[in-house]
Each structure stands twice: as structure tokens, then as C-alpha cells.
Structure 1
Amino acid sequence: MAESSKEELVQLIKRFGAFLTVKMSNLFSISFHNLNSRSVGAVAGLAVAIVFTWRLLRTPSGPQRRQPKRQAPAASSSGNSSHSNTTFMPSGVSTPSEDVRAQNVVDELFQPVKPTLGQIVRQKLSEARKVTCRLLGVILDESTPEELQKGATVRSSVLEVLLEITKYCDLYLMERVLDDESEKKVVLALEDAGIFTSGGLVKDKHIIYSLELMMYLQVLFCSTEIGRTSFVRQLEPDWHIDTNPEIVSQLSRFIKYELHISPTRTERPASNVFSSPSLEQFFGSV
């Protein structure tokens, strides 16, 4: 280990010496008539540094182990002789593999740190405190109220994003349903997905509040699309997330930001309206 450290020191000094040599050659290319007192002092300092480096290089780095002489291989009876082709690498010269390893270390040190999902959510929502979001086509796999009469399924890919939003914002989930049974199916699906229990949340009449995490989640139901629009207007959220382009367009005058979830790219009705194929893709979690 000591031998390796000394060799590294010698290599460093050699590189420094080469650097000084270049500097000296550049300096001496200037006419001595143009040198002032500071230039002369710089020349003297460089000369002293070169002498010091030269003396260090002359100092042996350590006791050298005597290398035994190689014996020429004896010729075989068949007349064929084997030759050993051994390539010797000068001491202190870095191999290509060492250069690659060194470059990999440098790349790892300067690799940008990837932000967490929580940081992305906060950045995307612009420090919002209240978010409203429809269920169909965003949180649920189903896309129509008629499908909810058969059952409700929470999208597994959206759960992580949804729970991150509830850490920073009051979240209101809302949807139009055709009957009370559909409402029960939705609440049961949300409960089975762990939305009500994650982080110590407690379900009570579709209102969920956690004193520990200071998060608030409420599930609202209505019988018409106008009712959902009315919910959003009354709550005055910082963000509203919806799949209905007409509702998004109507609310763009009243809501600070909106996210239109649509599988196809649509024209933005206003500058405060954003579009994405899914909620999780908007936050870059998939």
C-alpha cells in the first residue's frame, strides 16, 4: 500500500513538473527586454519549483526489489521452442481501464440528483393548498356513471401520486353517480385501495382527516355534471383535475390552474389549463 502511495505521489510531481515546463517555455518565449521586476520574480520562483521537483524525482521512492534474470526456455527435442511474449507496462503509467474507472467516478460525483415524487408534486402544483379532482377516468378505471353501477376499480398506478398530493393539499374527490349503490361501490373501492387507511386516515361519512399528517380528503357525489361544476366553484381550489373538456373550459375563468386528463392531445382553452394522458404521467411517475 505504501509503495502504491509513493508511486502516485511521484506521478503527481511528474505532472506538475510537466506543467511547469510548459509555463517556462511560454514565459521564455517573451523577449527579456519586456520583462519587469514582477516577471523576473515569477521566473525565479518557477526555477526554484523546478529544482525542487527535480530533487524529489531523484529521490528513490523506496527499496527496489531485485528482479531475477529470466532464463531462456530450453529447446525441446522436437526442435520447437516456446517463446514468452510478456508486455511490460512502465511503472506509474495509467492503463485505459484505470482511465475509464476514474472517468466513471467523476461522472458519478457530478451526476444530477433525481428529485423525489413528493418534490415533483409540490413543484408541479406550485405550492397549492386545495385540489379538486373527478374520479372517473382519473382515479378510477371506469369512465362513465353507467359503469359504476357494475363496480368501481381504483387505478393502482395513480395511488402513489394521489397519496403524495394529500400530504401537501386538501383533496376533494368528486363524481356524478346514478344511484346510491354506485356511491357505495366507489367508497368501498377507495377503502380497499388503502386511500382511507394510509397515513392513519379515518373514514367517516366520506370525510377523511388526519391530525398526524394534517391532510384532508373528502369524497363528494352529485347527480349531474352541473353539480360537479358547482362543487368546484364553491370550493375555489388552486387546481382542478377533470376529463370533461366543457367543464374544464367553463372553469378556466375561475380556477387558478386546471389539468385536463385526455388520451388525445387537445387544444388548450386557456393558458392556465394543462393537458396530460393521465394524472401519473403529468407528475412523471410512469
Structure 2
Amino acid sequence: MAESASPSSNSPREDELADLIQRFVDSLAEYSDRLPFALDRQKLRSFTTLAALAITLVFAWKLLRAPADQQRRPRRRPTPSISSSTSRTRSGTRPSSDVFLSSGDSRAQDAVDQFFQPVKLTLEQLVRHKLCEGRKVTCQLLGVILQETTPEELQKHATVRSSVLEVLLEITKFCDVYLMERILDDESEEKVLSALSDAGVFTTGGLVKDKVLFCSTENGRISFVRQLEPDWHIDTNPEIIHQLARFIKYQLHISPNRVERAASNVFSSASLEQFFGGLGS
């Protein structure tokens, strides 16, 4: 009976590695003999031993890594016929690896989608981002803060838009805000101030009645803005926006209809609260 191979016998790869190491050591020894100065053979032996050990570790790492990489590669299986796949399903055979791979890809895609979901910013962060850290803001009242859109309507009533109140109060927390409007009589001024007071605009401390300015003409509003020199001006009148574009750093044109951008420093939105509704608005 033929004797079985001993488990301790070296494989061809191990023999080649040992032979390579031995050749390396012999070469170093021959090279040391040619040097013009004396070299301690004992030190050389220690050095070559360390070098041989390093080479051994590198080769061992490569030998161990190759099978692992091969195992990671998915094996291609022949596509089973309809009859064979049906019989396997009926006999309770485990699903193919393609099913697990597709489910794994799906979970990975879900994780990526969840990771790249837009971050929900607070209103304070949105206001600071949109205003580019501006510290002074002038804003028209009609059509922006108030529901009314003409001075004639203010002679009858004044109503603060509830949807804009939160944004306005947030702006007043870190900006010096001035509200302004053209009116036709003193009674309109009283109605506006009363509506702002009832809405709680003056209770936060960020806005006072002295910063609500009134004038009798549209040019008067332009004069107010030029004197105050704000970082932002908010208005519904395209002519005023155009005239102030050269003097004001940023402007926001409030218009229910989509308008062409008058200048690079002029933005547009359907409402003030929509402008601060998100970074993409």
C-alpha cells in the first residue's frame, strides 16, 4: 500500500519561497566579501535574517490574499431552464445568490439615499442663510406684511398676513428692521400701527413703532431706503427695485407673477415667507 503524504511536507510554493530566501542570503554574503572594508558577519546574518523574514511575510500575505479574493468573486451559474427552476422551487431549494445580491444592493441604495437626504434647517438658519448675514433690512408693508395691496385699502382696514408673521419676527431677532409704506391720510397710519401691534410685532423687542415709516409718495420710500442704506430692501414695486439696484447690496422683489431678474443682486419670490421656505426656493 502506498504511503500517504505527510501533512508536514512542504508545498511547491513553500519550497520556491525557501529557495528564494536562501539565494538572497547567499548573494548578500558574496557582496559583503567584495566591500573594501571589514563587515561583521554576525551583524550581516542578523540583517539578512530580518530581511528574509520581511520577504516571507510579504509572500505569505500575497498567498493568503489570493484565495480570499477569489472567494469574494461571485460565481456565475448557468441559467436554469423553466422546468428545472420550477422543480427546484417546489422542492424547497434555497433562492439563488442573485436574489441576495439584489436585496443587498437595494439596502445599500436605501442607505445612500437616506444619507443624502437634504438636512432640515430651522427657520433661524434659513433666514440667516438667505439674508447672507445682513444686519439691516427695509421692507414695504403693502403686499408683503399686510394683506392690503393699495393705499386706498388702508383707508378702510389693515390686516397683517398671518403666514408672514413668524418670518418677520425671526428677521427682527438679529436684523435692524424698518417697515415703510405710502399712505393717503393719518387714519391709515393709525390702522397700520394698530394692526401690527395686535399681531404682536412690537412685543418681541426687535421692532418698535418708531421704525415704521410713512410717506405720501413712492419717491419718499426710495428716499427712506437711500438714507438708511440697508443690506436688504424688500418691495413690490419693480420701478423702485430698478432704481435702487445700484445702491442696495441685495433686494427682494415680491411679485405673484414670475418676473425676470432685474440685476444679479435682485431676487424674486411670490411672498416673503416663500422666499424663506427652503434653500431651493
The TM-score by the shorter chain falls in which range? Answer: 0.5 to 0.7
Deviations 1:7-37 (A, max 9, x none): xxxxxxxxxxxxxxxxxxxxx9xxx9xx994
1:224 matches 2:190 = no
Question: 2 CA distance for matches of 1:174 and 1:106?
Answer: 48
Within 5 Å, which residues of 2 pair with 1:195-214? 195-197=201-203, 199=204, 201=205, 206-207=209-210
Of 27, 35, 41, the residue aligned with 2:60 is 41
Of 173, 187, 195, the residue aligned with 2:193 is 187
Which residue does the alignment assign to 1:135? 141
Of 177, 182, 190, the residue aligned with 1:171 is 177
Deviations 1:197-217 (A, max 9, x none): 1x3x2886x13xxxxxxxxxx
Amino acid at match of 1:219: V
1:264 matches 2:270 = no
Which residue does the alignment assign to 1:283? 276
Of 154, 159, 165, the residue aligned with 1:153 is 159
Amino acid at match of 2:59: V
Percent identity, aligned pairs only, is 68
Which residue does the alignment assign to 2:227? 234
Of 226, 238, 243, the residue aligned with 1:245 is 238
Structure 2: stretches of 5+ with no match in the other structure: 1-12, 22-54, 70-89
1:131 counterpart SS class = strand
Alpha-carbon deviation of 1:111? 3.6
1:115 counterpart SS class = coil
Alpha-carbon deviation of 1:138? 0.6
Alpha-carbon deviation of 1:268? 2.5
Deviations 1:212-236 (A, max 9, x none): xxxxxx2111111111111001000
* Aligned-CA RMSD value: 3.5
Question: 1 CA distance for matches of 2:68 and 2:258?
Answer: 67
Amino acid at match of 2:223: S
Distance 1:127 1:185, change over 3 A: same
Distance 1:49 1:276, change over 3 A: closer
1:280 counterpart SS class = helix
Deviations 1:246-267 (A, max 9, x none): 1111111111111111111223
Alpha-carbon deviation of 1:135? 0.1
Structure with bigger helix share is 2
Question: 1 CA distance for matches of 2:234 and 2:155?
Answer: 23
Structure 1: stretches of 5+ with no match in the other structure: 1-27, 51-84, 208-217
2:138 counterpart SS class = strand
Asked if 1 retains the 8 angstrom alpha-carbon contact of 2:172 and 2:206, the reply is: no
Alpha-carbon deviation of 1:41? 2.0
Question: 1 CA distance for matches of 2:218 and 2:261?
Answer: 21
Amino acid at match of 1:182: S
TM-score normalised according to structure 2 size: 0.62
